[in-house]
Amino acid sequence: MPALWIAHVTVTDEEAYGKYAKLAGPAIAKHGGKFIARAARYVQLEGKERPRNVVAKFETVEAAVACYHSPEYQEALSHAKGASERELLVVETEE
């Protein structure tokens, strides 16, 4: 079943996070992920507000998790650590 990779992010260092974004997109695409929302308009209804919200769709939960643990994504992530506050989850969808 398909899965969504959902990230909620507050960027604290634009320059370093830019390096993350430059590397993360290709890493996600390499693992079959397709962005369906990226830093678009949103309405915060509950919980902690994070101004950057990203959703990517993968073929399976396993594919999304494999992407996260891949060397390519981990290299990208090394630039986001210390440059952002973030939550990331993968959730299986019905379609």
Convert the pLDDT of each residue in 41-93 to its tens digit.
Answer: 999 999 999 999 999 999 999 999 999 999 999 999 999 999 999 999 999 99
Other Cβ atoms within 10 Å of 59 Cβ, number = 14
Residue 75 near residue 23, CB atoms below 8 Å: yes
Residues in the chain: 95
In a domain, residue 47? The reply is: no
As a whole number of angstroms, the distance between CA 49 and CA 10 comes to: 8
In a domain, residue 83? The reply is: yes
In a domain, residue 34? The reply is: yes
Q: What is the CATH number for 84?
A: 3.30.70.100
Phi, psi of 48 (to 5 degrees): -70, 130
Into how many domains does the chain fold? 1
In a domain, residue 65? The reply is: yes
Q: What is the pTM of this model?
A: 0.90
- Nearest Cα to Cα of residue 31 among 65, 1, 74: 65
* Full residue range of the structural domain in which residue 73 is found: 3-42+52-92
